[in-house]
């Protein structure tokens, strides 16, 4: 597991500035979006609870059938509907013309291929359900996944899809297992969180701290090239930030121009003469969903209709903002590495805590 507490500190101390130039504070119809989100929230909460209840009731593992009773019945219905056509094909194979026999053979072969396809769909969908339950149990489902992906993931994991699955023929007449109108393996369930980026940053920070302590030279250019390579994958950067709440706080704070910390009103300074910062009440209200510093949209009066933290948190999951998450990423991390190398004792990291 990556050490999240340490990673938070990286960006807190560096003054994380991601999203400054590419993430607009507006652009979504938040009023409409909030209403839709509330409806989605109820469905998602119910689906999550169903998944969690399933895992709690089966601590030693959930037994997942290859075929649910509902799907077994639908498979039987599909085959029953084909029975007259199958019988007709067999009749044509015995008594039909050469052309009719050829058509009949192709039809029976297609039926056989369809049965093989359905069998594969049933087996593989069951394996995927087991995989998704394991992800939920381990707590590694990525926070950056959007609400639709989350709902799909839990409906898949808890068996809702399996119980409501349908057999639908595609444009070529091939029967496929479909969930919610989509072929089962084309449903977007999001992704599991990959700790590679987080572990890489941790490992490099440990290496730099150790070099500073031992007095060894640090090849900064090589480190920067490594970070630039990481930043080529904005999805990984986005996943990393969403997995660490403090990073998203910094991102959204910069996005909406509401600082998390402000100068104290008394002008008090610390021992080094720096003005002491205090928590910004406006930010705290904004994050709690009771802020009124954001502009109202149209004729909306109620405070709950003013865009709040959660609205930005969810809206930023859109691919429209994907590249925003790499903005400033390399320089921010390099700045923190620089501080750790220059004065490791003040980097805020316990070298012995890194393995």
Query: Hey, CA dihedral for 201, 203, 205, 207, is it positive or negative?
Result: negative
Specify the range with the lowest mean pLDDT, choosing from 76-80, 189-193, 351-355: 351-355
Average pLDDT, the chain: 81
**Residue 349 pLDDT:** 42
- Over range 97-115, report the average pLDDT: 92
The Cα 282–Cα 260 span in angstroms is 8
Does residue 19 have a pLDDT over 80? no
**Residue 46 pLDDT:** 78
Q: Is 191 helix (H, G, I), strand (E, B) or coil?
A: coil
Specify the range with the lowest mean pLDDT, choosing from 3-12, 56-65, 106-115, 186-195: 3-12
Instruction: State pLDDT tens for residues 152-167.
Output: 999 999 999 999 999 9
Q: How far is CA 258 from CA 53, 122, 255, 262, 308, in A?
A: 39, 51, 8, 10, 11
**Residue 289 pLDDT:** 85
**Residue 295 pLDDT:** 53
Residues 160, 184 contacting (CB under 8 angstroms): no
Identify the band that residue 23 occupies on the pLDDT scale cut at 50, 70 and 90: very low
Show Cβ contacts of residue 165 under 8 Å, excluding neighbours closer than 6 positions: 68, 70, 71, 74, 125, 177, 178, 179, 184
Highest mean pLDDT among 35-49, 163-177, 240-254: 163-177
Q: How far is CA 286 from CA 15, 17, 35, 242, 296, in A?
A: 20, 19, 19, 18, 13
Residue 261: its H or E element: strand 261-263
Does residue 258 have a pLDDT over 70? yes
Q: Give the percent of the chain with pLDDT over 90.
A: 46
Dihedral angle, C-alpha 72, 75, 80, 81, nearest 10 °: 150
Specify the range with the lowest mean pLDDT, choosing from 107-111, 139-143, 209-213, 335-339: 335-339
In whole angstroms, how large is the CA radius of gyration of the chain? 28
The Cα 349–Cα 341 span in angstroms is 12
**Residue 320 pLDDT:** 84
**Residue 294 pLDDT:** 61
Instruction: State pLDDT tens for residues 196-232.
Output: 999 999 999 999 999 999 999 999 999 999 999 988 9
Instruction: State pLDDT tens for residues 326-337.
Output: 877 888 788 888
Instruction: State pLDDT tens for residues 66-100.
Output: 888 889 999 999 999 999 999 999 999 999 999 99
Whether this prediction's pTM lies above 0.85 is answered by no
Does residue 325 have a pLDDT over 90? no
**Considering only CA atoms, which of 194, 199, 135 is closest in space to residue 3?**
199
Show Cβ contacts of residue 74 under 8 Å, excluding neighbours closer than 6 positions: 165, 166, 167
The Cα 127–Cα 309 span in angstroms is 37
In sequence order, what are the beta bridge partners of 275? 269
**Residue 32 pLDDT:** 46
26 versus 333: the higher-pLDDT residue is 333
User: What burial class does residue 42 get, using C-beta atoms within 10 Å of its C-beta: 0-12 exposed, 13-18 middle, 19+ buried?
Assistant: exposed
DSSP letter for each residue of 81-108: HHHHHHHHHHHHHHHS-HHHHHHHHHHH
**Residue 269 pLDDT:** 80
142 versus 345: the higher-pLDDT residue is 142
The Cα 335–Cα 94 span in angstroms is 81
Identify the band that residue 150 occupies on the pLDDT scale cut at 50, 70 and 90: very high
Does residue 321 have a pLDDT over 70? yes
Which residue ranges make up each domain of the chain?
Answer: 4-43+193-353, 51-186
**Residue 344 pLDDT:** 55
Q: How far is CA 111 from CA 79, 108, 124, 183, 186, in A?
A: 9, 5, 20, 19, 23
Residue 329: its H or E element: helix 329-342
User: What burial class does residue 301 get, using C-beta atoms within 10 Å of its C-beta: 0-12 exposed, 13-18 middle, 19+ buried?
Assistant: exposed
**Residue 39 pLDDT:** 53
């Amino acid at each position: 597991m990556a050490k999240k507490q340490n990673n938070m500190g990286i960006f807190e101390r560096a003054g994380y500035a991601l999203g400054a130039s590419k993430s607009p504070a507006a652009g979504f119809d938040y009023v409409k979006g909030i209403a839709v989100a509330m409806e989605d929230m109820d469905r998602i909460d119910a689906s999550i609870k169903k998944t969690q209840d399933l895992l709690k009731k089966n601590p030693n593992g959930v037994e997942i059938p290859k075929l649910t009773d509902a799907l077994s019945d639908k498979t039987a219905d599909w085959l029953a509907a084909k029975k007259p056509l199958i019988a007709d094909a067999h009749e044509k194979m015995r008594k039909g013309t050469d052309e009719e026999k050829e058509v009949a053979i192709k039809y029976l072969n297609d039926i056989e291929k369809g049965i093989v396809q359905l069998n594969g769909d049933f087996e593989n969908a069951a394996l995927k359900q087991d995989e998704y339950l394991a992800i939920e149990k381990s707590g590694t489902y990525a926070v950056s996944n959007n609400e639709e992906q989350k709902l799909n993931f839990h409906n898949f994991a808890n068996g809702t899809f399996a119980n409501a699955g349908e057999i639908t023929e595609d444009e070529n007449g091939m029967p496929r297992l479909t969930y919610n109108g989509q072929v089962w393996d084309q449903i977007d369930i999001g992704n599991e969180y990959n700790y590679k980026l987080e572990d890489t940053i941790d490992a490099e920070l440990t290496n730099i701290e150790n070099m500073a302590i031992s007095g060894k030279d640090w090849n900064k250019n090589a480190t920067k090239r490594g970070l630039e390579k990481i930043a080529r994958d904005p999805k990984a950067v986005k996943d990393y930030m969403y997995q660490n709440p403090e990073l998203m706080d910094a991102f959204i704070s910069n996005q909406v121009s509401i600082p998390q910390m402000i100068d104290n009103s008394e002008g008090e300074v610390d021992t080094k003469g720096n003005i002491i910062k205090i928590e910004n009440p406006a930010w705290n209200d904004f994050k709690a969903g009771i802020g009124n510093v954001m502009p109202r949209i149209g004729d909306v009066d109620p405070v709950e209709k003013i865009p709040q933290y959660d609205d930005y948190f969810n809206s930023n999951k859109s691919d429209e903002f994907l590249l925003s998450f790499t903005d400033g990423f390399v320089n921010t991390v390099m700045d923190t590495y620089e501080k750790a190398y220059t004065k490791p004792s003040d980097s805020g990291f316990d070298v012995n805590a890194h393995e």
